[in-house]
Amino acid sequence: MNSHIVYQVLDLVGTFVFAISGAVAARQRRLDLFGILSVAFVVACGGGIVRDVCIGATPPAALSDWRYLATSMLASAVTIAAYAKVRRLRFPVLFFDAVGLGLFAVSGAQKSLTYGHNAELAILLGTVSAVGGGVIRDMLLSRVPSILEREIYASAALLGALVFVVSAEVGAMSAWTPWVATAVCVGVRLLALYYGWRLPVYRGTKARREDARTRTNA
Amino acid sequence: MNSHIVYQVLDLVGTFVFAISGAVAARQRRLDLFGILSVAFVVACGGGIVRDVCIGATPPAALSDWRYLATSMLASAVTIAAYAKVRRLRFPVLFFDAVGLGLFAVSGAQKSLTYGHNAELAILLGTVSAVGGGVIRDMLLSRVPSILEREIYASAALLGALVFVVSAEVGAMSAWTPWVATAVCVGVRLLALYYGWRLPVYRGTKARREDARTRTNA
Amino acid sequence: MNSHIVYQVLDLVGTFVFAISGAVAARQRRLDLFGILSVAFVVACGGGIVRDVCIGATPPAALSDWRYLATSMLASAVTIAAYAKVRRLRFPVLFFDAVGLGLFAVSGAQKSLTYGHNAELAILLGTVSAVGGGVIRDMLLSRVPSILEREIYASAALLGALVFVVSAEVGAMSAWTPWVATAVCVGVRLLALYYGWRLPVYRGTKARREDARTRTNA
């Protein structure tokens, strides 16, 4: 299979999965039809648009390639039609969200490398592609982005992008690399969910008391 | 009249109108002089800046062409000087906001076509030009963007951009096209306001009960 | 000393200082290790990334030049290791924040001029470089950007960028210019803090009563 097509497919499946998560969030907020379509599209494509603007790939593919818009609209339609069912699928939604995370981390890193940029940029923009849409969604809905407060999420995306880019840099790239890197990200994310893994949070007792006092006085 | 000048005028009148709506919002929040100028400029020019970055028209015209900044400052000065009057004009503010929406939807779509991009991008970026400033304003002021919760607004902008771009694509463009497309957007927006039109909101009784439970537990 | 190196040093010192302020804010919110690193990086580099995208300098230096990421990580490590000490330094934090403001205003304006853009763009983007990271931080943490409500801050950055760009435009640029412009910004900011200077806020008695009524009814 042509490797260009592989990344296209990764990207469109990731778009579909993320658009569903966006549409569910928008429907829970009672947004109207247009609001649901908009939030689904932003969650699915926001990260990729930021990535494309940063690597100079204008206009962003998500805005000029009709397949991204069509995929988002299809996902919105599925969500609206089968909302009662989609809502109850707590585990599947988290599962697909993890899959989207891995797919976007890898396809984002790969696109950045394709444009001839260096490894650091590819790793950072792979991560941005994966988590950007969710951050924009949370900023739109006026809440602190869950990725900043939550379990291992952005760090799993970073790890997936890292595995992919390091493989590419050391010349160990094969037809398996994108799948392995995606699997690493998805696996770490799902294991973190299952076992409740967290990154260290720093709170010395003394500093915490002072912070509490600051907040009370503020 | 030179058609390039027509779009320039559309754009600057839209800038003036939107800057007034931004300055009023900033003054209601008791921001200082600099805050009023900043919010007015962001509301008036934010959508166009995002559009220009997406089509690769850097630096964005709103940042490098002094007329946009001057227009925003003039609108802020008018708002500050005549605040008591401007505030009471509920209908005129909504009217001018609708006019700005139509003007930006058309001038944004046209600029995207001028840069040689496809119809989908022109329609999406016309809409972004029209609603982008307002979305950024709401994100800055930490509230859910009203366009996501409100009556027909972004969808009117989309319709105006659609009429314009389809006319251009089928070769039906004439000196009247920009005005007709603007009028369609403004008309739909004003009729939606007057008659209270809304897009469908989906809420099955059962899913609603479940959402309510989720929110209570969250 | 090579003038290119001067601006590099300005930029990296500014990055370090702003990253500390971001890391302190993130730790106060109890974010985990990754959250602290992310917010520190965004505060330190967000303004510069927006500037680079607007002048077409893609990929943005902060994303592709490892020294920015390394500087942010170093600042985060220092903050985590010495948090109890850093927290108590109220005056030093405000002082370094003012220094970062001045450094970024000047290095941002200079980069825009280097890319051949006009004076207005250089002044606006110098200001954006200086305050952009803080605005993005506040949008991420779901609060109204303090620069919109606060004392003289963005206006000090604007003044520093203005002094620098006007000097360059009238041919009065010397080896001292960047330092003088930085000092103007830092000085105005610190004096405003010390004496409690504020820009005028407009509130006619009558309009205020009406605003209060509007808010109550809303």
Residue pair B143/A29 in contact by the 8 Å Cβ criterion? no
* Residue-level pLDDT at B1: 44
Nearest by Cα to A127 from A109, A147, A100: A109
Give the neighbours of chain A: at least 3 Cβ pairs within 8 Å. B, C
**Domain-located, residue B167:** yes
- Higher model confidence: residue C89 or residue C94? C94
The helix-helix angle for C33-54 and B33-54 (nearest 10°) equals 80
Measured CA angle at C197 (ends C195, C200), to 5 deg? 160
Cβ–Cβ below 8 Å for C27 and A202:
yes
Task: Report how far apart, in Å, the C-alpha atoms of C199 and of each of C148, C149, C194 are.
Answer: 11, 10, 15
Task: Give B191→chain C minimum CA distance, Å.
Answer: 23
Instruction: Report the distance separating Cα C71 and Cα A189, nearest Å.
Output: 28
Question: Is the peptide bond prior to A145 cis by the omega test (within 30 degrees of 0)?
Answer: no
Cβ atoms < 10 Å from Cβ of A150: 16
* Residue-level pLDDT at B17: 86
Of C34, C53, C87, nearest to A54 by CB-CB distance is C53
Total domains, chain C: 1
> Which of C50, C54, C151, C217 best tests the B interface by mutation, with the highest count of B CBs <10 A?
C54
Residue holding tokens 């954006």?
C128
Residues 6+ positions from C37 with CB-CB distance below 8 Å: C23, C72, C73, C76
Full residue range of the structural domain in which residue A137 is found: 3-217
Number of CB pairs < 8 Å for A and C? 82
Instruction: Report the distance separating Cα C133 and Cα A188, nearest Å.
Output: 30
- Higher model confidence: residue C211 or residue C149? C149
Would the pLDDT of B107 be above 70? yes
Instruction: Please state the rounded mean pLDDT for residues C68-75.
Output: 93
Q: Tell me, yes or no, if A143 comes closer than 8 A to chain B by beta carbon.
A: no
Residues 6+ positions from C21 with CB-CB distance below 8 Å: C43, C93, C96, C97, C100, C134
Q: Tell me, yes or no, if C117 comes closer than 8 A to chain B by beta carbon.
A: yes
Residue pair A124/A165 in contact by the 8 Å Cβ criterion? no
Cα distance between the two ends of chain C: 60
Nearest by Cα to C214 from B93, A141, B195: B93
For each of chain A's 218 residues, which pLDDT tens digit applies? 456 787 788 788 889 988 988 888 888 777 888 888 888 998 899 999 999 999 888 889 888 889 999 999 999 999 888 877 777 766 666 787 888 899 999 989 999 998 888 888 999 999 999 988 888 877 777 666 666 666 688 889 999 999 999 998 888 778 888 889 999 999 999 998 888 887 777 765 454 555 544 444 33
Cβ–Cβ below 8 Å for B148 and A87:
no
* Residue-level pLDDT at A32: 82
- Higher model confidence: residue C180 or residue A143? C180
Task: Give B70→chain C minimum CA distance, Å.
Answer: 11
Task: Report how far apart, in Å, the C-alpha atoms of A174 and of each of A3, A167, C147 are.
Answer: 10, 9, 50
Instruction: Report the distance separating Cα A113 and Cα A7, nearest Å.
Output: 13
Q: For all residues of chain B together, what is the average pLDDT?
A: 82
Sign of CA pseudo-dihedral B21, B45, B54, B111: positive
Report the range out of A204-213, B103-112, C82-91 with the highest average pLDDT.
Answer: B103-112
* Residue-level pLDDT at B3: 65
Residues 6+ positions from A209 with CB-CB distance below 8 Å: none
Amino acid at C87: R
Task: Give A28→chain C minimum CA distance, Å.
Answer: 20
Cβ–Cβ below 8 Å for A140 and B143:
no
Task: Report how far apart, in Å, the C-alpha atoms of B162 and of each of B117, C66, C171 are.
Answer: 15, 44, 49
Task: Report how far apart, in Å, the C-alpha atoms of C159 and of each of B45, C182, C185 are.
Answer: 22, 9, 6
**Domain-located, residue B218:** no
* Residue-level pLDDT at B216: 40
Q: Which string of DSSP letters, residue by residue, matches B62-111?
A: HHH-HHHHHHHHHHHHHHHHTHHHHHH-HHHHHHHHHHHHHHHHHHHHHH
Q: What is the pLDDT of residues B135-170, one digit of tens each?
A: 887 777 766 666 666 668 888 999 999 999 999 888
* Residue-level pLDDT at C3: 65
Instruction: Report the distance separating Cα B10 and Cα C169, nearest Å.
Output: 32
Would the pLDDT of C160 be above 90? yes
* Residue-level pLDDT at C204: 54
Nearest by Cα to A126 from A141, A140, A106, A155: A106
* Residue-level pLDDT at B14: 87
Contacts with C26 from chain A: Cβ below 8 Å: 148
Structure-token pair, residue A96? 């697909």
Residue pair A158/A164 in contact by the 8 Å Cβ criterion? no
Residue pair B45/B104 in contact by the 8 Å Cβ criterion? no
Q: Tell me, yes or no, if A31 comes closer than 8 A to chain B by beta carbon.
A: yes
Find residues 39-58 of chain B whose CB sits inside 8 Å of chain C: 39, 49, 53, 56, 58
* Residue-level pLDDT at A154: 87
> Which of A36, A53, A64 best tests the B interface by mutation, with the highest count of B CBs <10 A?
A64
Ramachandran bin of C104, using left for φ above 0, alpha for ψ from -120 to 50, beta for the remaining angles = alpha
**Domain-located, residue B72:** yes
Task: Give A149→chain C minimum CA distance, Å.
Answer: 6
Q: Which string of DSSP letters, residue by residue, matches C88-156?
A: H-HHHHHHHHHHHHHHHHHHHHHHHHHTT--HHHHHHHHHHHHHHHHHHHHHHTTS--HHHHSSSSHHH
Beta strand segments in chain A, E: none
Measured CA angle at A51 (ends A45, A53), to 5 deg? 100
* Residue-level pLDDT at C217: 39
